[in-house]
A and B are shown apart, each in its own frame.
Chain A
Amino acid sequence: MSQSAQAKPEIALPRPAGLRGFASDWASDQRAFKNVSWGKAMMWIFLLSDTFIFGCFLVAYMTARVSTAIAWPNPSTVFALSIGGKEIPLILIAIMTFVLISSSGTMAMAVNYGYRRDRRKAAILMLTTALFGAIFVGMQAFEWTKLITEGVRPWGNPWGAAQFGSTFFMITGFHGTHVSIGVIFLVIIARKVWRGDFDTEKRGFFTSRKGNYEIVEIMGLYWHFVDLVWVFIFAFFYLW
């Protein structure tokens, strides 16, 4: 492929202005989203699909919560921790949320350093993100253990509607799985960044394709999405 073919055409083709111009750009040849790579487009569309999955989970949860005849357990007391003899509502979940939101910050910085070809900083920030993610999952495991020892099961709990345990374990479990998968991929990509795979254009083990630093941003898209979903779970499950 010659260099000239990749350059912009010298004579710009006439394009209509305004909304029609937007439409004709979008419908033009080769790419609907100009300057968006395949990988990034794929991740956005996947996230759209995943949004529908979480949306269905949350709508199902809301339906169960508003239609159950037995009272719903009070989240403020259920999710309280007693620290120094004092019951503090939602303290664990507040820390978890803080950790996860912070991990979005380190992820965004990793993307920045990745594009600057600063391999060391990018890799360290990705590993920090992964560590925050692992801490989040760890605290979730602690929360699950605590609830299980208090008698909460998927099929029932001591305080009220059985659907409380079912939806809680299902939705936080599904979200926790997303975080765990994210952690695994963060570590894999951080290793590739550290090793300089994207500078030497090393081919992928499975796909045998050359990667580039954009993969850090694509990973970031997924990570921010998982974060955003948590905000909704937090609002609908713990604050309601």
Chain B
Amino acid sequence: MANIPAGIDDTVPLAEVADVELYHPKSWWTTYVFSQDAKVIAIQYSLTAISIGFVALVLSWLMRIQLAFPGALSFIDAEHYYQFITMHGMIMVIYLLTALFLGGFGNYLIPLMLGARDMVFPYANMLSYWLYLLAVLVLVAGFFVPGGPTGAGWTLYPPQSILSGTPGGKDWGIILMLTSLILFIIGFTMGGLNYVVTVLQGRTRGMTLMRMPLTIWGIFTATVMALLAFPALFVASVMMLFDRVLGTSFFMPTIVEMGEHLKNGGGSPILFQHLFWFFGHPEVYIVALPAFGIVSDLISTHARKNIFGYRMMVWAIVGIGALSFVVWAHHMYVSGMNPKFGFFFATTTLIIAVPTAIKVYNWVLTLWRGDIHLTLPMLFALGFMVTFVNGGLTGLFLGNVVVDVPLAKTLFVVAHFHMVMGVAPIMVVFGAICHWYPKVTGRMLDETLGRVHFFVTFVGAYAIFFPMHYLGLLGVPRRYSELGDTAFIPPSVQALNEFITIMALIVGAAQILFLFNLAWSLRRGKEAGGNPWRATTLEWQTPQTPPAHGNWGKELPVVYRWAYDYSVPGAAQDFIPQNQPNGDRISREPAS
């Protein structure tokens, strides 16, 4: 690592740490399978997460078919329906979104965007992936054991989750689910420590915290949150596992089951809900914050404008992360809490809308008078913004106790949740894949296929979830496998349900198109070159594409400016890479 020639720049301190020695794999196995390279681990995480996500997608198809055409598929009975709901929810939230954003994008982007050679502990990073894979396999094993997977709902509320009335409650299902969660958390902790320490201690020269791309800020804050929130789920899982296997009564009150007094007594089901949601609410932002960060970078790059209010964006991310730890009981308005708690948690919940709204305004202001290129990543970023605002607004309804109480058990919640935490982050996932695919593979995705996929997904998602709000307001309950003859439900609900199901099948099929695009472009896509989007951040400045082992060749990059020098007046190009010396002092970086 040489010093910068004198006179070009005096603002970058010298190196404080010696360059790291990398582990150099010697065989095919240690290069591609048991790899310690964060980029390979990222791809392993992503492929596993996407594969298991497709299982969850198929489950949602089956559920929708059952709702619209009850009895059409003879193998779906009420119990199966519950199992599908549970597995769909758990897979999508934890095994797809959390693993993909943090394990996938986190692993790929953190070292590259910060100018590091790899994560700080490559070996623990590798273990992290293999534990994640084991967790996924244990989860999937639920489908093949007697009694099938658990049907307790993705929140696993006791006591029902471990009683015989619930599928898998007295069989293997719930045991496998809890074991899988515990494995996932142990594996995630290994990876999470890597991400946090790499961001804090592993940056290159000149990469100050306030020069990090917002993607990194989002992933970093989300990982810190995950390290503090997953312990609650870990503890809850261990305790419920003991309740189920050893016969303890942590969460089990005195219960009569099938006319028989169980031996349990004295436990508190509400305790589980508190532990679960102390994890569960931060989990929403563990998924959302990386999405916020990534979308900020996509918008800035593809609108060729610096992000509006960078510092505000950083503090909004940190603020949302902190606030999200004091809102958990808004999931429990109908659980029987002291009404004063409801007041407190409703207040904190609504306060979160402030930093979130700041972020949305800043995205809009970044677009304003920008040179907007409607590339695939930009389309998905725009799709995200619209969907997120929609989902967020219905969150204001549900955050209020009096509005939540009548709506809590209806499809309104399902619609809100899927808009804000299903469709919106998935939009970012697609946008991010389209954005970074050229760096990962060296080739561009096919534009036409991508556009078809975007429009079908975007319009289709609205066709699915917009009517669902209306069904919820009518009072159609969620988690019912069929409605039967219910006095307050008009017959038109059936028609709407059929419409939603058909749209869901179409949107699901469009995802196969996306997968096809990924596979097809791998060989047939246009050559991308090193920096197809003309972006400023470090991962586009690597000597090779895809980046080689060690990322940077002989010398680590040195950072002279923030990540958002787009369309700077007086510059030769409409972007200035972060590692270009700032000799003539043309940068839009806010003074620190």
Chain A residues proximal to chain B, CB less than 8 Å: 1-2, 4-9, 11, 13, 24, 26-34, 36-38, 41-42, 45-46, 48-50, 52-53, 55-57, 60, 63-64, 67-70, 154-156, 161-163, 165-167, 170, 174, 206-210
Contacts and interface: CB of A to CB of B under 8 A. Distances in A.
Contact of A53 (B206, B231, B247): B231
Interface string B175-217: 0000000000000010011101100111111111111000000
A38 B204 contact: no
Contacts of B17: 30-31
Nearest to B230: A49
B246 A1 contact: no
B14 interface: yes
A9 B203 contact: no
Contact of A57 (B121, B196, B206, B235): B235
Given A27-B209, A30-B13, A31-B201, A154 B248 contact: yes
A166 B248 contact: yes
Contacts of B263: 155-156
B201 A64 contact: no
Give the interface residue-count category, chain B.
Answer: 35 or more
Interface stretch (B154-162, B265-273, B393-401): B265-273
Given A7-B14, A64-B266, 12 more contacts: A1-B19, A6-B14, A6-B15, A28-B209, A30-B15, A31-B200, A45-B196, A46-B189, A49-B193, A63-B271, A154-B247, A208-B23
Nearest to B210: A27
B121 A38 contact: yes
Nearest to A68: B266
A203 B207 CA distance: 30
Pairs A-B, 7 closest by C-beta atoms: A52-B231, A166-B248, A56-B235, A27-B209, A155-B247, A53-B231, A207-B123
B228 to A, nearest CB: 5
B465 interface: no
Contacts of A1: 1, 15, 18-19
A167 B227 CA distance: 24
B249 A31 contact: no
Contacts of B197: 38, 41-42, 45
Contacts of B207: 29-30
Nearest to A44: B197
B3 interface: yes
Interface of B: 1-3, 10-19, 21, 23, 120-123, 189, 192-194, 196-197, 200-211, 227-228, 230-232, 234-236, 238-239, 242, 246-250, 263, 265-268, 271, 275, 278, 559, 592
A29 B206 contact: yes
B201 A38 contact: yes
A68 B242 CA distance: 18
Nearest to A165: B248
Given A42-B120, A154-B247, A209-B21, A33 B201 contact: yes
Contacts of A11: 10
A155 B246 contact: yes
A202 B274 CA distance: 48
Contacts of A156: 263
Contacts of B121: 38, 42, 207
Contact of A56 (B227, B231, B249): B231
A208 B25 CA distance: 11
A155 B264 CA distance: 8
Contacts of B248: 154-155, 162-163, 165-166, 170
B410 to A, nearest CB: 31
Contacts of B275: 56, 60
Contacts of A26: 209
A9 B9 CA distance: 13
Taking each of B123, B206, B248, which has the highest tally of chain A beta carbons within 10 Å of its own beta carbon? Answer: B248
Contacts of A64: 250, 266-268, 271
Given A9-B14, A27-B209, A30-B16, A45 B242 contact: no
Nearest to A70: B266
A206 B125 CA distance: 13
A163 B267 contact: yes
A143 B246 CA distance: 20
28 contacts: A1-B18, A27-B210, A29-B559, A30-B15, A30-B203, A30-B204, A31-B200, A32-B200, A42-B120, A45-B227, A48-B227, A49-B227, A49-B230, A52-B231, A53-B235, A63-B271, A64-B250, A64-B267, A154-B246, A154-B248, A155-B247, A162-B249, A163-B266, A166-B242, A166-B248, A170-B239, A209-B21, A209-B23
A69 B1 contact: no
